[in-house]
Structure 1
């Protein structure tokens, strides 16, 4: 899978793609940015929507990936979508990479869960805040891994869309996820990320 650029979020796109559920017909990438992940999902899923509330990001996504017949990019906020641009309960897969920390965790997970069809899958690559000694030890290990990867891929680069730091600690995220999304799988990753996978009951 060719890479247009490399950073911590792009690094974990392969992991997201490996979690596309069998028989997935419709996928939604929330906070799609420049559309790179949506374009990669399009190779595996018949219909893909990339959504972002940032107009510049959506314009960039359309310029770079608008030639793909099975991908649509829309400007909307998944948390506040009065026009119903996104179809609640219709997506077999909803992905959110570096998105949840921009909002209240409960509000964000509730909104994403509503977008999923029964039996659909939510895949989140998220960020947390370091608080404990264990957190800082994991961060140091991640920094070492990041430096090694930069030797291979070159310096980290991004699409130039707005970003912010996480304020919710890792442990709090894990506890909230297990409470709000019963049966979810949560795993701490290197490169200051976590993986959250939840299959919506049928």
Structure 2
């Protein structure tokens, strides 16, 4: 079994798992990295796909979790799926953790929504840019919490995926999400993340 580790993204995977909708048959984790979240979803969902545009990430995921019978890993870009590896409108759950700030927010959301089946659920854990005094206060509080959690978990580690700073502010993300996804739920999380959930209307 692969070594377990802790970082800000892993910390919120439990929250993602709590949001798996009832009756979910097919799930897709976009930007799956080393496949850790995919492996956890596989314990709850009959068929899970992990997608990442980085070939080395998919190779790592297959080495670690490729033996799971209900898991498939594909090298694919959800924004430009030329090979049609990610069928549109087929997934009851689409998750994206620390992914969509690598693209334009509107383009990223539209790309994820296309993959959702009618009645499916979108779960995004994302990053925003600090711009206001409140943003910086929340950031400092999160840094303090992160330090405590890091000590508790024996350090902050990960698969070594290159990071990227977000360009869109927290307020802009919340405003655009509510405009694009009527009825969505948006909230700031302590460890420099936000949670966005939305259920696609039936039909």
Which residue matches 1:65?
Answer: 65
Q: Name the SS of the counterpart of 2:74 in structure 1.
A: strand
Which residue matches 1:117?
Answer: 117
Moved over 6 A (4+): none
Which residue matches 2:188?
Answer: 188
Moved more, 37-46 or 81-90: 81-90
1:91 CA displacement: 0.1
Q: Name the SS of the counterpart of 1:172 in structure 2.
A: helix
1:162 CA displacement: 2.1
Which residue matches 1:134?
Answer: 134
Which residue matches 2:76?
Answer: 76
1:9-46 deviation digits (Å, cap 9, x = unpaired): 00000000000000000000000000000000000000
* Total equivalences in the alignment: 201
In 1, the alpha carbon distance for the partners of 2:129 and 2:77 equals: 24
- Unaligned 5+ runs, structure 2: none
Provide the TM-score with structure 2 as the length reference. Answer: 0.97
In 1, the alpha carbon distance for the partners of 2:168 and 2:3 equals: 30
Cα RMSD (Å) of the superposition?
Answer: 1.0
In 2, the alpha carbon distance for the partners of 1:7 and 1:151 equals: 11
Which residue matches 1:30?
Answer: 30
- Unaligned 5+ runs, structure 1: none
Q: Name the SS of the counterpart of 2:92 in structure 1.
A: strand
1:163 CA displacement: 1.8
